[in-house]
Structure 1
């Protein structure tokens, strides 16, 4: 029985293009390492200024905590009143859209890329991520490529979103499944 095997020498990410020119990508690599991925610059306004400078679209009151890794700011849109916790990884090979009033807890990973494991060359595949208003991503959760997390949905700590999440629902597990509706009580 002859098994087919992966052959990474054949890898080709065409037609993928990360955007920005080579110099811009190199500059961002170092700014990301020196300002975002460390705790040396705790000031939100500096981070927001740099994100905008490199093409991100940001609303008001965006708080980017220490240790955050953002692949390409030009593929990032963030609304108003957004908290991005420590050690979040936004691996935005393609567009990530984050609405308003969102909490992205510590260690969350937003993955817009993967690989086609069904072919020997293991080619890159990508898909956008959309977080609609009011979403809460629990600590250490993962949102995979091509996923929309609908308005006010919750992805519980450590859970993995492999399909779209319904509005006002709470999801848990790997793969994440709906466990109940989200109710918001007015005081």
Structure 2
């Protein structure tokens, strides 16, 4: 039986984008202005994200203590809310539509490891949250998942597969529990 041998780890063909100086600067900007509760202003955070290459829509709210891996792999639509302690692990592109709510402690993952190989190699895939999606508090969206328009992932749930539009998902792994109906 084979064993895991992390000395042979290889993250090829992954590249974090940008140059080393840009990545180093972002590390400090992220720590000083995003992962902290000292800077409550969403406008300033949006300015910084755009400066580092993110595409950000209008009226985006970013709460304190948010961690964003690489903003140059991030797109956010209009009127989107990003709650406290959200982790956006953008090793590759994360696309967040308009009117999306990422509740407190939500996690968006674009990377994992191939547990079937001794070297435990890095695997990456994009995450897409279409318009009107709600990711509940403490919920996790795994790599390669598309959350269809106005879908809901309830608190603490884990999405490992695509979420159908206008459906509510719950559990680990998340399963469809009912349709989402939006009334007046």
- The alpha carbon displacement at 1:9 in A equals 0.4
State the Cα RMSD in Å: 0.4
Runs of at least 5 residues in structure 2 that lack an aligned partner in the other structure? none
How many residues align? The count is 184
Structure 2 counterpart of 1:174, from 166, 169, 172: 172
Give the one of 123, 129, 132 matched to 2:130: 132
Residues 1:113 and 2:100 are matched in the alignment: no
In structure 2, the partner of 1:60 is: 58
Partner-residue secondary structure (3-state), 2:91: coil
Q: Deviations over 1:18-71 (max 9, x none)?
A: 101000000000000000000010011110000000000000001110000000
Q: How does 1:86-105 map to 2 (within 5 A)?
A: 86-105=84-103
Gaps of 5+ in 1: none
Deviant stretches of 4+, over 4 Å: none
For 1:26, the equivalent position in structure 2 comes to 24
Matched position secondary structure for 1:52: helix
Q: Which residue of 2 aligns with 1:162?
A: 160
> Residues of 1 paired with 2:43 and 2:137: CA distance?
24
Match of 2:151 among 142, 153, 166: 153
CA distance in 1, matches of 2:100, 2:80: 5
SS in structure 2 at match of 1:97? strand
TM-score, normalised via structure 2 length: 0.99
